[in-house]
Structure 1
């Protein structure tokens, strides 16, 4: 089986779910998909990276505060 290791993805490019799976497994990122929990259910499905953010705000359940996390977040949608 061929390895699909990605260390970077680019906005506007299409990737197979198995390539995005590899990217997420080897890189500290967040991926948001328009098909919710089914992102990795079909390894051959294609997704387009439509946007990337350098970080995001997250609410802490522990202290009720909001914190900015410097962690890239990629938006992908089914092709």
Structure 2
């Protein structure tokens, strides 16, 4: 059985919501989920990491410019 605390997410792997919660709380990442606000509602629900990116562009409402964020992001979907 895997510990709740994980150091990295790997595409194709399954993780429980409580593991993702712990990872997000201790790591500077973006987590995108197919079931939006329900991601952490059931700690035992499993999710599959379907995609990982090294960074992304973000639009600033302050100056209208687009900025590259050098921040790892993961897409997860409910299993």
TM-score (norm 1): 0.94
- SS for the counterpart of 2:48 is strand
Tell me the number of residue pairs that the alignment of Structure 1 and Structure 2 aligns: 77
- Aligned CA RMSD, in angstroms, stands at 0.9
| Counterpart position of 1:42 | 42
Which structure 1 segments of 5+ residues have no match? none
Normalising by structure 2, we get a TM-score of: 0.94
Gaps of at least 5 residues in structure 2 are: none
- The 5-angstrom pairing of residues 1-79 of structure 1 reads 4-79=4-79
How far apart are residue 74 of structure 1 and its match? 0.1
Aligned partners of 1:7 and 1:26 also within 8 Å:
no
Measured after TM superposition, the shift of residue 6 of structure 1 is: 1.1
